């Protein structure tokens, strides 16, 4: 004699069979992803011959789209040469306005996961020159927090990912005559990112994450093959990824974004 539970299970199996369901259906349900990339010239792909097809955000999207469970990946590259975290503050009504415009277009697709991929800090760390530089570690965190909180308020279903800034050679013009000072300052931003993300765990659980941490070490080791040699005030310096480096950076970002989405 069949028990109640056995009857229920049998009924469920019959229903699944009648609608053509199979375990493989769960694997075929793909997640569409819309990504707004916020950053500086590295994100923009300023030294590449064709940023539209070679920039790190493009490479990241291509990598993500190949992964299991992912459908269509659509991006908006909001990388701006010379930009700092100060420039993207919502209160300045400058670059943030363009980020918001891009996000509004993506919001129309309620079935897709909205992601903001943020990597700022290179220009913040400069001894002089870019807007607001040098930005202290404390102010850097405050700026990122202002950006993230506004994004989470305006787009409640979004995910915000903060990647560690990438390595640049100590003689880069961003460091001016102080050489190592800018690069040292850049690395003080890492724990600020960690602390900021940790502070959102209770208020926005699962929505704010630390993204890539590996690109800094990678470019420090492979700068001669993956970064563009550029002539600066202190001689040849390395800062921007070349085509090979942009592909590598895109994969680093792609892996971090995929982890956050899936």
Q: What CA–CA distances, in Å, run from 171 to 77, 230, 234?
A: 28, 11, 6
What is d(CA 158, CA 207) in angstroms, rounded to the nearest whole number? Answer: 7
Instruction: State the Cα angle at 176 between 245 and 118, rounded to 5°.
Output: 45
At 178 the pLDDT is: 43
Q: Examine the pLDDT at 36 and tell me if it is beyond 50.
A: yes
At 255 the pLDDT is: 98
Decide: helix, strand or coil at residue 36: strand
At 179 the pLDDT is: 52
Sequence-ordered alpha helix ranges (H) in 73-203: 95-107, 137-154, 180-187, 189-199
Q: How far is C-alpha 59 from the geometric centre of its chain's CA atoms?
A: 12
Query: The CATH number of 29-261 is which of 3.40.50.2000, 3.40.50.1110, 1.20.58.1610, 3.40.50.1220?
Result: 3.40.50.1110
At 235 the pLDDT is: 82
At 25 the pLDDT is: 42
Q: Examine the pLDDT at 140 and tell me if it is beyond 80.
A: yes
Mean pLDDT for all residues in the chain: 89
Mean pLDDT across 123-146: 94
What is d(CA 179, CA 166) in angstroms, rounded to the nearest whole number? Answer: 16
pLDDT of 160-215, one tens digit each? 999 999 999 998 864 444 456 899 999 999 999 999 999 999 999 999 999 999 99
Mean pLDDT across 212-231: 97
Eight-class DSSP state of 204: S
At 226 the pLDDT is: 98
Evaluated on CA atoms 251, 253, 254, 255, the torsion sign reads positive
pLDDT of 62-96, one tens digit each? 999 999 999 999 999 999 999 999 999 999 878 99
Domain ranges of the chain: 29-261
Question: Do β-strands 227-232 and 159-162 pair in parallel, antiparallel, or remain unpaired?
Answer: unpaired
Residue 216: what are its φ and ψ, rounded to 5°? -55, -55
Q: Give the alpha-carbon dihedral of 131, 137, 141, 144, to 10 degrees.
A: 30
Sequence-ordered alpha helix ranges (H) in 55-94: 56-65
At 5 the pLDDT is: 43
Point out the least confidently predicted range of 24-33, 57-66, 206-215, 222-231: 24-33
Q: Examine the pLDDT at 145 and tell me if it is beyond 90.
A: yes
Which of 10-19, 24-33, 229-238 has maximum average pLDDT? 229-238
Q: Examine the pLDDT at 9 and tell me if it is beyond 70.
A: no
Decide: helix, strand or coil at residue 135: coil
Q: Examine the pLDDT at 13 and tell me if it is beyond 80.
A: no
């Amino acid at each position: 004699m069949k028990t109640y539970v056995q009857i229920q299970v049998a009924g469920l199996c019959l229903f699944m069979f009648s609608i053509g369901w199979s375990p493989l259906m769960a694997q075929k349900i793909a997640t569409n992803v819309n990504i707004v990339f916020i950053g500086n010239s590295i994100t923009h792909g300023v030294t590449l011959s064709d940023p539209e097809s070679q920039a790190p955000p493009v490479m990241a999207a291509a990598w993500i789209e190949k992964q299991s469970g992912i459908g269509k990946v659509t991006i908006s590259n909001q990388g701006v040469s010379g930009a700092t975290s100060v420039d993207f503050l919502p209160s300045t009504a400058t670059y943030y306005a363009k980020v918001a415009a891009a996000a509004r277009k993506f919001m129309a697709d309620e079935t897709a996961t909205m992601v903001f991929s943020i990597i700022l800090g290179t220009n913040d760390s400069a001894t002089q020159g870019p807007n607001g530089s040098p930005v202290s570690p404390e102010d850097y965190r405050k700026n990122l927090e202002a950006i993230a909180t506004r994004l989470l308020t305006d787009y409640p279903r979004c995910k915000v990912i903060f990647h560690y800034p990438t390595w640049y050679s100590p003689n880069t013009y961003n460091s001016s005559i102080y050489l190592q000072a800018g690069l040292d300052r850049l690395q003080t931003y890492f724990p600020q990112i960690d602390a900021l993300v940790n502070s959102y765990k209770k208020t926005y659980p699962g929505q704010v994450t630390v993204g890539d941490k590996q690109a800094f070490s990678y470019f420090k080791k492979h700068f001669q093959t993956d970064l563009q040699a550029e002539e600066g005030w202190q001689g040849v310096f390395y800062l921007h990824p070349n085509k090979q480096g942009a592909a590598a950076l895109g994969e680093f970002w792609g892996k971090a974004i995929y982890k956050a989405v899936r």
